[in-house]
Amino acid sequence: MKMQDNWIERANRVLPGGGFGNFDPGIIIREGKGSRVWDEDGNEYVDYLIGSGPMLLGHDNEEVQDVVRAQIGKGLTFFANNSAGIELAEEICQAVPCAEQVRYVTSGGEADMYAMRLARAATGREKILKFEGGYHGMSAEAQMSLAPTKLSNFPLAVPDSAGIPEAVRDAMLIAPFNDIEFLRSLLAEQGDEIAGLIVEPLQRVVPPEPGFLQAVRQECDKYGIVLIFDEIVTGFRFAYGGAQELYGVTPDVCTLGKIVGGGFPLAAIAGNADLMAHFDVSKVGPEGFLMQLGTLSGNPVASVAGLKTMEILRRDGAYEKIRANGQFIMDVLSQSLSNAGHDHQIVGDPTLFDVVFTADPVRDYRSWLNGDAEKNARFNTLLRARGIFKAPGKLYPSLALTEADLQQTREAIAEAAALLDG
Ligand SMILES: Cc1ncc(COP(=O)(O)O)c(C=O)c1O
């Protein structure tokens, strides 16, 4: 029996669905080095999943490993303030336009949940507006209209998970991404009841149309709505200061995760000092206080890994290289799929993108849903058989990609496009 089949059998016995819930349980990753990963049978892949985003530098960055080893020798976790966590908060405030203060949590989903609660604490209002198809983790609020198969009329929320109280649905409003006219008319009716608006500045892979985020900012100001940018994916990836730097729109608060913990469990809520004061009972009193703590918050191992990752990203040429790698692959995809006669759109930013098999432009969840998802899955299977490892719906280029990786990717894409049915 192959090693991998043995692990899959064992996983099926002890894990629901045979997996961790994250990714195809039919592959068991043994190790990663640089730009590549190997499965338990020794098959080698160029890694475009990169841990779902955190491993932007590649898998075995020596400098990150050195600081992690040094910290491990001094202690793994303290549940108390530590200098690494304070330094990381300083660097986040330096880098991210909206960040004056930082509160740590352990996962991106938690950060989003607290950011929404913070908007409620700050405004005394209840409703949260999110965009259909926007991903903000697994909280009850975030499960509303995340990936609905049954489409409802806006702004009615549809829960995408069992176990969510009806009351949460009533407190959520759903709007189509990139539709400023819809947003304006919704806010004209209910703007004064809305605590916060949460948005992925680039929603999954769909970019904001020019002026959209600026208009969202203006509308939030008009009604006193807290604007939350979910930068779990885009933070430190789109630019050192994240999507807010790239697009030139500053939210009131943002959430950060993935890269900021250097591959360890760490995420953060970062915002202006007035808002962040709600985490401090001495500033806002018990009425406005948002209770928040967590065993691993500000973990020193994650903090040193994040700090070193950020230091490397600040070096000359880092973002240019990531963007050039991504642009190369976007161009190859576009050429190969056109040559083979497949209707498609390459949707995203060079730091994060994918193919959508549709002839029509993709500007929101519903137009993305028009894409042929089965064809996308077949394309990904053909790529995997040629040593290209990626998630369904996303491709993340890393800084570790070499010329050989890019050439292998080019050949794999050309072959897969030529063999793809439909
Ligand atoms: C935009 C966005 N927000 C939130 C999250 C949730 O982060 P985590 O998986 O760390 O809870 C993710 C995860 O992929 C994400 O892409």
For 146-162, what is the mean pLDDT?
A: 95
- Residue range 233-260: mean pLDDT, rounded: 98
Instruction: State the pLDDT at residue 115.
Output: 99
What is the rounded average pLDDT of the residues 132-161? 96
Are residues 305 and 277 part of one domain? yes
**Which pTM was predicted?**
0.98
- Residue 38 counted as domain residue: yes
State how far the Cα of 72 lies from the Cα of 351, in Å rounded to an integer.
Answer: 31
Pairing of strands 388-389, 44-47: parallel
Q: Whose CA is nearest to atom 3 of ligand 1?
A: 136
Do residues 51 and 120 share a domain? no
Q: Does residue 69 sit within a domain?
A: no
Same domain, 394 and 407: yes
For residues 94 and 122, membership in a common domain is answered with: yes
Q: How confident is the model at residue 138 (pLDDT cuts 50, 70, 90)?
A: very high
Q: pLDDT tens digits for 276-310?
A: 999 999 999 999 999 999 999 999 999 999 999 99
Query: Is residue 130 annotated as part of the catalytic site, yes or no?
Result: no
Percent of the chain surpassing pLDDT 70: 100
Q: What is the CATH number of the domain that holds 42?
A: 3.90.1150.10
Same domain, 262 and 204: yes
Per-residue pLDDT band for 1 (boundaries 50, 70, 90) equals confident
The CA-atom distances, in angstroms, between 112 and each of 47, 105, 219, 226, 267 are: 27, 10, 21, 13, 10
Residues 14 and 140 in one domain: no
**DSSP state letters, 292-325:** ---TTTT-HHHHHHHHHHHHHHHSTTHHHHHHHH
Domain end: 251, 283, 313, which one?
Answer: 313
Per-residue pLDDT band at 44 (split at 50, 70, 90): very high
318 vs 381: CA distance, rounded Å = 31
- Coil, helix or strand at residue 121: helix
Whether residue 56 is found in the same domain as residue 100: no
Q: Are residues 323 and 300 in the same domain?
A: no
pLDDT category of residue 380 using cuts at 50, 70 and 90: very high
Are 131 and 208 contained in the same domain? yes
End-of-domain residue from the set 313, 331, 358: 313
Domain count, the chain: 2
Do residues 211 and 290 both lie within one domain?
yes
Q: Is residue 137 part of a domain?
A: yes
Structural domain boundaries enclosing 341: 3-61+316-419
The number of CA neighbours under 13 Å toward the Cβ of 96 is: 36
Active-site choice (47, 179, 230, 252): 230
Clarify whether residues 216 and 300 are in a common domain: yes
| 13 exposure class (CB count in 10 Å sphere: 0-12, 13-18, 19+) | exposed
8 Cα–ligand 1 center, Å: 26
Index of the ligand 1 atom closest to the CA of residue 110: 11
Residue 67 maps to a domain: no
- In sequence order, the β-bridge partners of residue 39 are 29
Interval 246-271 mean pLDDT: 98
Q: Whose CA is nearest to atom 9 of ligand 1?
A: 108
Spacing of C-alpha 381 from chain mean position:
23
Q: How far is the CA of 422 from the centre of ligand 1 (A)?
A: 33
Overall average pLDDT of the 44-53 stretch: 98
- Same domain for 268 and 347, yes or no, is no
* Ligand 1 pocket list (CB less than 6 A): 52, 107-109, 112, 135-137, 200, 230, 232-233, 257, 267
pLDDT at 137: 98
Q: Say whether pLDDT at 422 is over 90.
A: no
Tens of pLDDT, residue by residue over 84-130, are 999 999 999 999 999 999 999 999 999 999 999 999 999 999 999 99
Banded pLDDT at 204 (limits 50, 70, 90): very high
pLDDT bucket at 258, cuts 50 / 70 / 90: very high
Which of 313, 329, 351 terminates a domain? The answer is 313
The H-assigned helical ranges of 16-107 are 62-72, 83-95
Cis peptide before 155 (omega within 30 of 0): yes
Contact (Cβ atoms closer than 8 angstroms) between residue 355 and residue 343? no
62 — pLDDT class (breaks 50, 70, 90): very high
pLDDT, residue 244, reads: 98
**Residue 51: is its pLDDT beyond 80?**
yes
**Closest Cα to atom 10 of ligand 1:** 108
CATH number of the domain residue 187 falls in: 3.40.640.10
Query: In the numeric block, which tokens belong to residue 94?
Result: 């330096």
